[in-house]
Amino acid sequence: MAQGWQEVNAEFMRRISAREWLPDQLIPAESELAAELGCSRVTVNRALRDLAQRGFLERKRKAGTRVIKNPERKATFVIPITRLEIENRGAVYSHQLLKREIKIPPPEVLARFRLPADSPLLYLNTLHLADAKPFVLEERWVNLAAVPELEAVDLQQQNANEWLVNHVPFSGGDLSLGARAADNKSAQLLHCGAGDALFEVQRTTWQGEQIITFVQLLHAPDYRLLTVL
Amino acid sequence: MAQGWQEVNAEFMRRISAREWLPDQLIPAESELAAELGCSRVTVNRALRDLAQRGFLERKRKAGTRVIKNPERKATFVIPITRLEIENRGAVYSHQLLKREIKIPPPEVLARFRLPADSPLLYLNTLHLADAKPFVLEERWVNLAAVPELEAVDLQQQNANEWLVNHVPFSGGDLSLGARAADNKSAQLLHCGAGDALFEVQRTTWQGEQIITFVQLLHAPDYRLLTVL
DNA sequence: CAGTGGTCTAGACCACCAG
DNA sequence: TGGTGGTCTAGACCACTGC
């Protein structure tokens, strides 16, 4: 007789895998399952809730619980702080602030911030190095209206990424991954050839309705983002 | 007085954001918080468990619960079935099976399968198209010892991805994302220039100890993988 | 050892929504 | 409108682990 919710969870998982519960099919109600397995309904609920969160079941009040046909596999990536990512590889982190200026960004950047056409933003261009070798080239736009304190920070010492993480916590954001050929300037900075295929990450971060920062990361060749399904 | 666990959760989140609970600092025990908020300990537990799962708290028996210093942002991507990904964009899906043969793979592939040096695998080369335009080029190796039924399937009709999803459910896997320059053959198939920067996904899928398949996806230029944090 | 989180139970009320 | 999942409560036992 199953006791813990993890055992119950595993048993339900088995039934799905073994096709005892068919895709698109309703499964018994919580109370029935609880009676069958000899545990409380709360335990069944915990197990089913977990399976639903992991994408194997769909639950609706009154309608009941059904098995999902094509369970979508989800991959979770950790969005690391660059310094920690480098240090976790056992390398020494350093960074160079290549440019820092307040200016009006190009229209495609302004559009992301949903700001009027003449809004100045803080532009930062930073090269992050691992063991003194170029690791990732960062271009960042910061909405100073949202984080005015950043203007006074010495970004030679602490990079903007880290300062923002520590001072503007728990915001939302979106992420876009792709590939881009290195232009001449990037190639020079990253010590690679012009035209080399580089892994690119673009991230917009906001808090509430306000957009805080837009950052584009161009990684050195051969960089790969890894995860487990 | 907070009643539901989501309210309790939000209140705790507020305390973290507002630095009432400082990073690296222990927070009161569940029973204390329950007394303070006037709800049961289970409700507090549910709220704290959620915050821990989302990476804001670290919980240890006896040691207590503490606020994490640099909360890691996590991004979740859905790993789509190629056909559905294309159809969700409103395009018509089709695919071409370019090659299908059973052969001994190169050593770097064999190593991923953890198989002896002379193990033959099923090799599949498939081009997936959206509205008849090349979308992604797939190279796949399948361990037929793990899924012998696949050998008899007509993969002109149903692509291997879909067949595997529907017949070998709920396996684990790992994922690697990067950028790669198009070689001549890939460029021709994807209708792009040789050397173009392409977004590459490599995925290994296993069930239990057995490795089922290794697949490499080369996306057409300008493809981007999107998600929300 | 003792305090913490992890979990189970039984019973209860409620929100939702398909029929 | 009744059945379903969502959740709360109070009390209890247990596993882990820092002291």
> Which chain A residues are Cβ-neighbours of B198 within 8 angstroms?
179, 197
Q: Is the pLDDT of residue A2 over 90?
A: no
Determine whether the distance from the CB of A45 to the nearest atom of strand D is below 7 Å.
Answer: yes
Cross-chain Cβ contact B79/A76 below 8 Å: no
Q: Is the pLDDT of residue A182 over 80?
A: yes
Residue B170 pLDDT level (bands cut at 50, 70, 90): low
The string of pLDDT tens digits covering residues A66-100 is 998 877 778 888 887 899 889 989 999 999 999 99
**Closest residue, CA to C1' of C16:** A61
Query: What integer pLDDT is reported at residue A139 of this predicted model?
Result: 96
Which H helix or E strand runs over B218? strand B210-219
Other CB atoms within a 10 A radius of the CB of residue A84 amount to 15
Q: For A218, which residue in chain B has the nearest alpha carbon?
A: B179
* Mean pLDDT computed over every residue of chain B: 90
Token pair recorded at residue B55: 């990476």
**What gap in Å lies between CA B143 and CA B147, rounded to an integer?**
7
Facing B172 at nearest CB: one of A165, A181, A229: A229
Q: Is the pLDDT of residue A170 over 80?
A: no
Query: What integer pLDDT is reported at residue B98 of this predicted model?
Result: 95
Please identify residues in chain B, positions 21-40, with a C-beta within 7 angstroms of any atom of strand D: 38-40
B61 Cβ partners below 8 Å, 6+ apart?
A: none
Q: In what order do the strands lie in the sheet with B57-60?
A: B26-27, B64-67, B57-60
Which H helix or E strand runs over B13? helix B5-17
Q: Is the pLDDT of residue B120 over 90?
A: no
The string of pLDDT tens digits covering residues A122-164 is 999 999 999 999 999 999 999 998 888 888 888 788 888 888 8
Q: Which nucleotide is nearest to A6 (CA to C1')?
A: C7
**What gap in Å lies between CA A150 and CA A128, rounded to an integer?**
19
Mean per-residue pLDDT for A178-191?
A: 96
Q: Is the pLDDT of residue A1 over 70?
A: no
B153-183 b/e (C-beta count within 10 Å ≥ 16 → b): eebeeebbbbbbbeebeebebebebbbbbbe
The string of pLDDT tens digits covering residues B173-223 is 889 999 999 999 999 999 999 999 999 999 999 887 789 999 999 999 999
Token pair recorded at residue A115: 């700001």
Q: Sign (positive/negative) of CA torsion A116, A204, A150, B24? A: positive
Query: What integer pLDDT is reported at residue A229 of this predicted model?
Result: 76
The string of pLDDT tens digits covering residues B70-119 is 777 788 888 878 998 899 899 999 999 999 999 999 988 888 888 887 78
Q: How far is the CA of A64 from the C1' of D2 (A)?
A: 14
A148 Cβ partners below 8 Å, 6+ apart?
A: none
**Closest residue, CA to C1' of D5:** A61
> Which chain B residues are Cβ-neighbours of A79 within 8 angstroms?
72-75, 229
* Mean pLDDT computed over every residue of chain A: 90
Q: How far is the CA of B3 from the C1' of D14 (A)?
A: 27
Q: What are the backbone dihedrals phi and psi of residue A207, each rounded to the nearest 5 degrees, phi first?
A: -135, 115
